[in-house]
């Protein structure tokens, strides 16, 4: 018995059958006793198959039917005489305890038929239509038309006891969703257990590793529950089954070469099987059949086993597990070292993209609109290790914005490069570098490089990309280039050297790291900044990061400077300080080393936070009407008098506080309203709570600012 798709008219493997819940019926049908009165009631979800019944079976332990065993019943309508038999397979507690046996149309009944030597009556053909065996009344009808007509006929004849609603699982074709019909059919099967055993061993021993590792569990589940594989298909396209039949003596010959003579009777009346192999049977040979196996070609030696196989989890069993089994069985070697399982791309609501839903996104359209690098960047950035991606068109904007950022950084370097006389060479040691921002950016470069390298090795591609993104956007563009601009404005030769020996090489190295993620923009930039006639960036060797450049102290010092600049910028924003107004800074801190770091880098602070004067020391006092920022071991005061119109700012802040308090009141009233809570979806309620927290935080901040303004 095989799984048969009446639409595709082919057998399917067990794994190609999908399962669906279906609302159907249980029909209770009387089978009258051949002799005397009485009947046996049998329940079925597929009444049309009763036309192929060849017995009624009960459990040997079932007392209710003991006296009937060995007697016969009449099959309704067709009036075939059916024996009543006992079989251990029958569950006395299920249905009426008596089951109809249809050996040609049910896998379990097939086995019962074998045990009891029952006839096999085929009533449904390969296109799902009723055969002549089904009787004149039903011959030629579709199986479901037959079902309706048969039930009506049983009812008319008083042979239907009752009908019950019943939800059950049906098998459907994985390609066309047609209801699978179990059919009696000659097919080729492959015995899989010995192959699975080798595959299990290889993965258990760590010869093949899954990323993410959780998929190994699924792999083992499939392998440990493997069933024989129905590999023949009644289709036109595919590898033809390599089996020949001798018309003279009936010998069956399986052979890799086309045989000419029968090995038994030597006749030449051989005919090849007309079936083809399951598509997956061809696919599982892919890792070595593409390399001209079984010949031991140079390609085979070089490429087999390969390093990584990348695939979606939906074909973990169909393809990946089978390639592992085939490789180990036929070549004696695993086909690959690592399996990287990606997530699936779904729509914003988490639904699979399908034609019928019309929720697909055409990648070519996105490439046209945002650029190929942007599309590639966004997809990788969104793919958290093996998890599905909820995708929308807007998500590609991230990639485009990043590409623009990279291009602008490149243009800045190119422009500045033309202004300075090239001299010096790449820095080889961190210790010799004078400027903190230079030491810092090189340290960040090498630690980013280290992170990206580690993440690459763990197949955490989005984390590798994220590290490079943060480095390039925030460390390099937001901080380093801003500081460098200022240094170059001073036109000192030291800054020119930094441009040529630190800024450019750092950017070039970043392009190399970024190349696998954004191949086009990085190649274009590479060709423009690499020495004339350079090879493609694709074949450069980025080499390895150097621990010598990773300088914890420089990163700590720079972070302190960044914190100060960041806090001043914050205060300026919150207090509405006009950008042109230069502020004053008072820093109270008793740590001499920190004060020393600040003193040495006042230039950075002046330039990047609009400060013109800094007073600092352990005994500084907070002046009246100044904003306060606290960072570890340090208090920073910014006097506001002279920067802003205190009276107006006080009014503005008071108004803002009043507005926020109003909002808070209205949210609170919503959240205490039972009607609202009942009707609003959970995520809306959650959003309201979040808003409440944010507004309350803002009110507190603004009130502190108000207090600062009120101080005398």
Question: Which of 237, 302 has the CB closer to Zn ion?
Answer: 237
Span from 177-185, 226-234, 375-383, 665-673 in contact with Zn ion (CB under 5 A) = 177-185
- Tally of helices (H runs) and strands (E runs) in the chain: 23, 26
Give 639-703 as a 3 state SS string: ECECCECHHHHHHHHHHHHHHHHHHHHHHHHHHCCHHHHHHCCHHHHHHHHHHHHHHHHHHHHHH
**Does the protein bind Zn ion through residue 271 (CB under 5 A)?**
no
Residues 123 and 105 sit within 8 Å (Cβ to Cβ)? yes
Query: Min. distance of Cβ 125 from Zn ion in angstroms?
Result: 16
Distance CA 518, CA 497 (A): 29
Span from 106-114, 264-272, 312-320, 703-711 in contact with Zn ion (CB under 5 A) = 264-272
Which of 262, 565, 568, 640 is the binder for Zn ion (CB under 5 A)?
Answer: 262
Query: Min. distance of Cβ 280 from Zn ion in angstroms?
Result: 15
> Considering only residues 86-125, where is the footprint of Zn ion by CB under 5 A?
none
Query: Min. distance of Cβ 16 from Zn ion in angstroms?
Result: 9
The strand pair at 626-631 and 160-173 is best described as: unpaired
Query: Min. distance of Cβ 233 from Zn ion in angstroms?
Result: 11
Span from 171-179, 443-451, 610-618, 644-652 in contact with Zn ion (CB under 5 A) = 171-179
**Does the protein bind Zn ion through residue 252 (CB under 5 A)?**
no
Residues 64 and 90 sit within 8 Å (Cβ to Cβ)? no
> Considering only residues 596-615, where is the footprint of Zn ion by CB under 5 A?
none
Question: Which of 246, 328 has the CB closer to Zn ion?
Answer: 246
Query: Min. distance of Cβ 252 from Zn ion in angstroms?
Result: 10
Residues with Cβ within 8 Å of residue 630, at least 6 apart in sequence? 636
> Considering only residues 613-642, where is the footprint of Zn ion by CB under 5 A?
none
Q: Could you give the angle at which helices 436-457 and 461-470 cross, rounded to 10 degrees?
A: 170
Distance CA 213, CA 206 (A): 11
Neighbours of 582 (CB within 10 A): 13
Query: Min. distance of Cβ 234 from Zn ion in angstroms?
Result: 12
Question: Which of 99, 173 has the CB closer to Zn ion?
Answer: 173
**Does the protein bind Zn ion through residue 248 (CB under 5 A)?**
yes
**Closest residue by Cα to residue 202 from 321, 284, 314, 303:** 321
Query: Min. distance of Cβ 352 from Zn ion in angstroms?
Result: 19
The strand pair at 634-639 and 626-631 is best described as: antiparallel
Query: Min. distance of Cβ 179 from Zn ion in angstroms?
Result: 10
Question: Which of 262, 441 has the CB closer to Zn ion?
Answer: 262
**Does the protein bind Zn ion through residue 7 (CB under 5 A)?**
yes
Which of 50, 173, 325, 551 is the binder for Zn ion (CB under 5 A)?
Answer: 173
Query: Min. distance of Cβ 369 from Zn ion in angstroms?
Result: 37
**Does the protein bind Zn ion through residue 193 (CB under 5 A)?**
no
Span from 146-154, 176-184, 186-194, 404-412 in contact with Zn ion (CB under 5 A) = 176-184
**Does the protein bind Zn ion through residue 215 (CB under 5 A)?**
no
Spell out a b/e string for 130-159, using b for 16 or more CB atoms within 10 Å of the CB, else e: bbebbbeebeebebeebbeebbeebeeeeb
The strand pair at 181-183 and 2-5 is best described as: antiparallel
Spell out a b/e string for 617-629, using b for 16 or more CB atoms within 10 Å of the CB, else e: eeeeebeebbbbb
Question: Which of 15, 463 has the CB closer to Zn ion?
Answer: 15
Distance CA 439, CA 559 (A): 13
Question: Which of 179, 597 has the CB closer to Zn ion?
Answer: 179
Question: Which of 259, 542 has the CB closer to Zn ion?
Answer: 259
Which of 246, 291, 433, 640 is the binder for Zn ion (CB under 5 A)?
Answer: 246
Span from 40-48, 241-249, 413-421, 440-448 in contact with Zn ion (CB under 5 A) = 241-249
Query: Min. distance of Cβ 261 from Zn ion in angstroms?
Result: 8
Which of 20, 152, 176, 357 is the binder for Zn ion (CB under 5 A)?
Answer: 176
**Closest residue by Cα to residue 583 from 647, 620, 626, 630:** 626
Question: Which of 6, 287 has the CB closer to Zn ion?
Answer: 6
Span from 203-211, 246-254, 409-417, 681-689 in contact with Zn ion (CB under 5 A) = 246-254
**Does the protein bind Zn ion through residue 249 (CB under 5 A)?**
yes
**Radius of gyration of the chain from its Cα atoms, rounded to whole angstroms:** 39
**Does the protein bind Zn ion through residue 251 (CB under 5 A)?**
yes
Distance CA 219, CA 302 (A): 28
For the window 130-169, what string marks contact with Zn ion as x by the rule CB under 5 A?
A: ----------------------------------------
Query: Min. distance of Cβ 321 from Zn ion in angstroms?
Result: 23
Q: Rounded to the nearest 10 degrees, how much is the dihedral formed by the CA atoms of 597, 601, 604, 605?
A: 60
**Does the protein bind Zn ion through residue 197 (CB under 5 A)?**
no
Span from 258-266, 319-327, 532-540, 599-607 in contact with Zn ion (CB under 5 A) = 258-266
Query: Min. distance of Cβ 177 from Zn ion in angstroms?
Result: 7
Query: Min. distance of Cβ 181 from Zn ion in angstroms?
Result: 11
Distance CA 508, CA 527 (A): 10
**Does the protein bind Zn ion through residue 357 (CB under 5 A)?**
no
Half-sphere exposure of 350 (CA within 13 A, CB side): 1
Question: Which of 8, 390 has the CB closer to Zn ion?
Answer: 8
**Does the protein bind Zn ion through residue 5 (CB under 5 A)?**
yes
Which of 8, 18, 405, 652 is the binder for Zn ion (CB under 5 A)?
Answer: 8
Q: Where are the alpha helices (DSSP H) in 157-214?
A: 193-204
Query: Min. distance of Cβ 266 from Zn ion in angstroms?
Result: 7
Which of 22, 166, 264, 581 is the binder for Zn ion (CB under 5 A)?
Answer: 264
Query: Min. distance of Cβ 248 from Zn ion in angstroms?
Result: 5
Distance CA 198, CA 196 (A): 5
Residues 427 and 501 sit within 8 Å (Cβ to Cβ)? yes
Distance CA 178, CA 516 (A): 43
Query: Min. distance of Cβ 262 from Zn ion in angstroms?
Result: 3
Question: Which of 265, 630 has the CB closer to Zn ion?
Answer: 265
Catalogue the long-range contacts made by 346-352 (C-beta closer than 8 Å, 24 or more residues apart): 346/388, 346/389, 346/390, 346/391, 347/390, 347/391, 347/392, 348/390, 348/391, 348/392, 349/390, 350/388, 350/390
Residues with Cβ within 8 Å of residue 420, at least 6 apart in sequence? 496, 499, 500
Q: Rounded to the nearest 10 degrees, how much is the dihedral formed by the CA atoms of 325, 327, 332, 336?
A: -110
Q: How many residues bind Zn ion (CB under 5 A)?
A: 14
Query: Min. distance of Cβ 264 from Zn ion in angstroms?
Result: 5
Q: Could you give the angle at which helices 363-370 and 372-382 cross, rounded to 10 degrees?
A: 120
Span from 45-53, 260-268, 590-598, 653-661 in contact with Zn ion (CB under 5 A) = 260-268
Question: Which of 22, 333 has the CB closer to Zn ion?
Answer: 22
Record the tokens describing residue 456, joined without a space. Answer: 């690459």
Which of 152, 193, 254, 265 is the binder for Zn ion (CB under 5 A)?
Answer: 265
- H/E segment holding residue 73: strand 72-74
Residues 542 and 509 sit within 8 Å (Cβ to Cβ)? yes
Record the tokens describing residue 359, joined without a space. Answer: 């929720």
Span from 8-16, 82-90, 628-636, 704-712 in contact with Zn ion (CB under 5 A) = 8-16
> Considering only residues 313-352, where is the footprint of Zn ion by CB under 5 A?
none
Query: Min. distance of Cβ 685 from Zn ion in angstroms?
Result: 46
Point out which residues bind Zn ion (CB under 5 A).
5, 7-8, 173, 175-176, 178, 246, 248-249, 251, 262, 264-265
């Amino acid at each position: 018995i095989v799984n048969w798709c009446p639409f595709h008219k082919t057998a399917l493997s067990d794994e190609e059958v999908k399962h669906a819940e279906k609302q159907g019926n249980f029909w209770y049908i009387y089978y009258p006793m051949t002799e005397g009165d009485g009947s046996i009631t049998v329940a079925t979800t597929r009444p049309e198959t009763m036309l192929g019944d060849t017995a009624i079976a009960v459990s040997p332990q079932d007392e209710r039917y003991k006296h009937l065993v060995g007697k016969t019943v009449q099959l309704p309508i067709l009036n075939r005489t059916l024996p009543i038999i006992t079989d251990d397979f029958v569950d006395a507690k299920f249905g009426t305890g008596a089951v109809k046996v249809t050996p040609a149309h049910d896998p379990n009944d097939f086995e019962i038929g074998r045990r009891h030597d029952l006839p096999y009556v085929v009533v449904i053909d390969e296109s799902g239509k009723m055969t002549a065996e089904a009787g004149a009344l039903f011959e030629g009808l579709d199986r479901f038309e037959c079902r309706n007509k048969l039930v009506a006929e049983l009812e008319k004849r008083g042979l239907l006891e009752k009908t019950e609603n019943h939800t059950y699982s049906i098998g459907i074709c994985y390609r066309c969703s047609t209801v699978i019909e179990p059919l009696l059919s000659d097919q080729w099967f492959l015995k899989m257990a010995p192959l699975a055993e080798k595959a299990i061993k290889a993965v258990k021993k760590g010869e093949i590793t899954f990323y993410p590792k959780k998929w190994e569990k699924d792999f083992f589940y499939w392998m440990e529950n493997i069933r024989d594989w129905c590999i023949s298909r009644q289709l036109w396209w595919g590898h033809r089954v390599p089996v020949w039949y001798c018309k003279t003596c009936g010998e069956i010959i399986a052979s890799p070469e086309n045989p000419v003579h029968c090995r038994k009777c030597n006749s030449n009346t051989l005919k090849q099987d007309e079936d083809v192999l399951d598509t997956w049977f061809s696919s599982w040979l892919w890792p070595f059949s593409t390399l001209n196996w079984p010949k031991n070609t140079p390609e085979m030696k070089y490429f087999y086993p390969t390093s990584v196989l990348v695939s979606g989890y939906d074909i973990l069993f169909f393809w990946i597990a089978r390639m592992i089994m085939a490789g180990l069985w036929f070549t004696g070697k695993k086909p690959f070292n690592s399996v990287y399982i990606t997530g699936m791309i779904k729509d914003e609501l988490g639904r699979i993209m399908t034609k019928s839903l019309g929720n697909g996104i055409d990648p070519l359209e996105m490439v046209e609109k945002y650029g190929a690098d942007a599309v590639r960047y966004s997809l990788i950035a969104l793919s958290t290790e093996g998890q599905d991606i909820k995708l929308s068109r807007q998500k590609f904007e991230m990639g485009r914005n990043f590409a623009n950022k990279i291009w602008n950084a490149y243009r800045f370097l190119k422009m500045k490069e033309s202004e300075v006389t090239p001299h010096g060479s790449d820095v080889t040691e961190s210790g010799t570098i004078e400027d903190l921002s230079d030491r810092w950016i090189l340290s960040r470069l090498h630690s980013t490089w280290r992170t990206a390298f580690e993440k690459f090795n763990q197949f955490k591609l989005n984390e590798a990309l994220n590290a490079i993104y943060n480095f390039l956007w925030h460390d390099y563009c937001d901080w380093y280039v801003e500081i460098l601009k200022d240094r170059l404005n001073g036109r000192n030769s030291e800054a020119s050297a930094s441009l040529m020996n630190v800024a450019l090489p750092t950017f070039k190295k970043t392009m190399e790291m970024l190349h696998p993620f954004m191949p086009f923009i990085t190649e274009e930039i590479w060709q423009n900044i690499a020495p004339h006639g350079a090879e493609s960036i694709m074949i450069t060797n980025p080499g390895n990061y150097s621990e010598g450049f990773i300088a914890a102290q420089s990163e700590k010092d720079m972070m302190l400077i960044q914190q100060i600049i960041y806090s001043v910028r914050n205060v300026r924003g919150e207090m509405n300080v006009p950008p042109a107004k230069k502020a004053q800074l008072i820093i109270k801190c008793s740590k001499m080393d920190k004060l020393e770091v600040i003193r040495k880098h006042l230039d950075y602070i002046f330039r990047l936070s609009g400060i013109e004067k800094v007073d600092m020391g352990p005994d500084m006092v907070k002046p009246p009407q100044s904003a306060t920022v606290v960072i570890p071991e340090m208090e920073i005061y910014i006097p506001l008098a002279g920067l802003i119109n205190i009276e107006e700012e006080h009014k503005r802040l008071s108004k803002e506080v009043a507005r926020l308090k109003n909002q808070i009141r209205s949210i609170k009233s919503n959240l205490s309203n039972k009607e609202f809570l009942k009707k609003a979806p959970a995520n809306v309620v959650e959003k309201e709570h979040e808003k409440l927290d944010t507004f309350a935080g803002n009110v507190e901040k603004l009130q502190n600012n108000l207090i600062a303004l009120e101080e005398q």
